[in-house]
Amino acid sequence: MNYYIVIPSHNEEKHIGVTLQSLVEQTVLPKKLVVVNDNSTDATAEIVLSFTEKYPFISLVNKTSDAIHLPGSKVIQAFQKGLETLDDQYDFIVKADADLIFPPNYFETIAHHFQSDQRIGMAGGFAYIEKNGAWLLENLTDKDHIRGAFKAYRKETFQQIGGLKPAMGWDTVDELLCKFYNWKVVTDLSLQVKHLKPTGANYNKASRYKQGEAFYRLGYGFFITAIASLKLAMRKGKPLLFLDYIQGFRKAQAAKEPLLVTTEQAQFIRNYRWKKMKEKVF
């Protein structure tokens, strides 16, 4: 299968080299790999260019945007910039972060998943972070969720869900829309991706309400938001984040922020979330 990769990057000189090295060592290479250098002030671009000289399938795109790192919008706008340079001659497309080390068989295995079932719309592995010399599962999400750091989409699925939405919650709404359109989402525990930076390391204080806003824009409603907020805050080991998330939800509600989904899709999402919660309890 042919696959393309788009990597948004901002000041990633410490990690982009090892990420690209892990990608050029894949047992099945990408047809095209685009790194979007988003307003970096370090040597990110120079490092990427050193790879483009050796590997013709790698290209660099420069983008200028606000240096403030807010989750969701900045990274997806950079992804879209890279996507604009690509054709549609791919079987699946990947949005990847610039601080990862992929195992050599990662994308060969992803391709096998897509080939095994034509209804599989998304596939991915799991993120591991280093603690005290050991690589441990970065346990921030359920086992059936693919982390935003390495999303692989079948072309038909990617087109049907309307691509990626430039807002926090993009890496949840994509999977929910997959299910809305009756696509399968597959995670593979054998695929362990080393995540070199803790999730959210670059987020500033202004972003702390964004998670609650995302829950609102996903159409969750207050009660599902409260449960999801408490669960996420406890997983992060910061219970007081629950209050920030709820305040973010209330702010978005008061401002009547537009939803990321249609009314019909929002109803499906609420029903799906309630069903999943009941399955876990009973």
Please report the domains of the chain, with CATH numbers, ordered by start residue.
Answer: 3-195 (3.90.550.10), 208-281 (no CATH)
CA distance 114 to 22: 21
Q: Which residues of the chain, if any, have pLDDT below 70?
A: 66-72, 198-206
In whole angstroms, how large is the CA radius of gyration of the chain?
A: 18
Number of residues written out for the chain: 282
Find residue 151's DSSP bridge partners.
95
The predicted model scores a pTM of 0.90
pLDDT of residue 123: 98
Torsion sign over Cα 55, 188, 260, 67: negative
* Torsion-angle region of 33 (φ positive above 0: left; ψ -120 to 50: alpha; else: beta): beta
